[in-house]
Structure 1
């Protein structure tokens, strides 16, 4: 008898999940516009107001405290922990980082992480939500790309598919709760400075100026520092390490960005907990992570190793000498989160 025929066809390929999961609603688009425009207008108004009245030492101190808390919530929490898994955090620290980052008015934890993981998956190529190199290399194309990378991408109607890029956060009950509380937390980010300012000065005027400086102006400043990592730190600067894209180091943004502007090393080694790895490269976020580690709140921290840094630097030097684009060849340098 003739044996039954067997199929030699390969199994059907798994259909990849789309990059986006639909369009933002009109309300979501209006909220993005509000969160971007209102603090920006406050920043524009800040200079003339500062010359006349309404800026006190209390306003500066309150603004600085809220800038540090919300900024580190983004850099240590949203970025190095939730996006890249640079360390493991106990539950109280994980929740605290999610809440602190939400005070920055940069969207929910899950939405922020999904956008950033997508950025690393397609960095400076089609699919990257905020690359300045998507429109070409001519002067007009770069001007358009700079605007797009800095703020224009926020007004795109497509929303990154969180089920594809951040399924771990969608399955985390604590993070889902923080995501649902984003609007109350955003409002608290404006109200709390006013409460503190009113109590410190014991005046209604003190509460109003604190809302203006430590609320609106602080949010606008942090927005533009964060967006500068997307735009400036993919345009002009040093590239000492091999990366898959055009990420660069920008020294003059290091303090304001808490070390995020040492961006070239980050793209060469995304899961590394420290971005400023050379002498004199101040990385305040790494210092905070070190403090969490010493306190026992953070474990399994992915600190850089001399051998790995030497390898990434050697790859960059070789490619520069050959006149080629610096690209990464190390399979460990991925933008995916750690297990």
Structure 2
């Protein structure tokens, strides 16, 4: 777990060395393994909405879902999703690599298309999360109400999306002073509204251009805008909720972050969450055999093209020291 200063980027911008640090986090002691009732409740919370979404696809095919809807939704999911994982998270928040200026702005724009908030607020909230992970002060810990099944269900909902409606705001002067000093990034952050309109409107425009019909525009808007953004939101929020309530913990961390393998593809490798909290600035989260991390592969391509430098790839010594 890192303090805001440890999590701040070394990304071709001034670092957040001047950011105020909270009180030193104390080690978190893991509780006993969760009871069967907790596991059952978690399964229902996770599985039912996803099964409903999957079931809707064949039922809608040929009527309100066509090939161009899937292509548009897939491409924009990739762009906006990687904008969050590679851009907002690994680059802007944790400084896992340095980026040239065009890539810096492109990542800020791509992440904004996910409609998860301006880059300044997203980074500030996430740095605060790492400073107080699963303790008082964490903006979205699923354990905030206790460890009984009802408390966990309430906590999961809060960590998943309820925290977004909390009036408490993270202070960017404290957690993201480096972003505040970056004029280009701040311009993108302030342009969040127009970028949301573009993100939601582009699928409909593409659907109309491909089919020449208003129905094509409507179905593209439904799948490429509403479903795409909704799915991406829930995948992102699941890292906050599910990955702090269950999963394997092969590395030592001061919180309850776990690896949830079945979220890895949809989250572009973010659900290998235990290593991330054990070594927050590491550019690769899936470091063990068989752990697919597509975000790390994208960073690898950026490095090969010379757009990204000083990439913090896993170090065997650091990994060995963090093994549980």
TM range (shorter): 0.7 to 0.9
Structure ID, larger Rg:
1
Partner of 1:85, secondary structure, is: coil
* Residue 302 of structure 1: how far off its partner (Å): 0.1
Query: Is 1:225 aligned to 2:248, yes or no?
Result: no
* Residue 143 of structure 1: how far off its partner (Å): 1.0
* Residue 238 of structure 1: how far off its partner (Å): 0.2
| 1:253-296, Cα deviation, whole Å (9 max, x unpaired) | 00000000000000000000000001110000000000000000
Query: Is 1:171 aligned to 2:215, yes or no?
Result: no
Normalised by the length of structure 1, the TM-score is: 0.79
* Residue 51 of structure 1: how far off its partner (Å): 5.8
The equivalent of 1:237 in structure 2 is 247
The equivalent of 1:186 in structure 2 is 196
For residues 245-284 of structure 1, the aligned pairs below 5 Å read: 245-284=255-294
Question: Do the aligned residues in 2 keep the contact of 1:235 with 1:246 (CA within 8 Å)?
Answer: yes
The equivalent of 2:121 in structure 1 is 111
Query: Cα RMSD between the aligned structures?
Result: 2.0
The alpha-carbon distance between structure 1 residues 17 and 267, as it changes in their structure 2 partners (threshold 3 A), is: closer
| Cα separation, 2, equivalents of 1:61 and 1:51 | 14
* Residue 47 of structure 1: how far off its partner (Å): 2.8
Question: Do the aligned residues in 1 keep the contact of 2:276 with 2:282 (CA within 8 Å)?
Answer: yes
| Cα separation, 1, equivalents of 2:246 and 2:237 | 15
Query: Is 1:95 aligned to 2:144, yes or no?
Result: no
- Specify which of 73, 80, 85 is matched with residue 70 of structure 1: 80
* Residue 141 of structure 1: how far off its partner (Å): 1.1
Structure 2: 5+ residue stretches without partners: 1-19, 24-48
Question: Do the aligned residues in 1 keep the contact of 2:22 with 2:131 (CA within 8 Å)?
Answer: no
| 1:36-84, Cα deviation, whole Å (9 max, x unpaired) | xxxx9xx97x938726721000000110000000000000000000000
Normalised by the length of structure 2, the TM-score is: 0.82
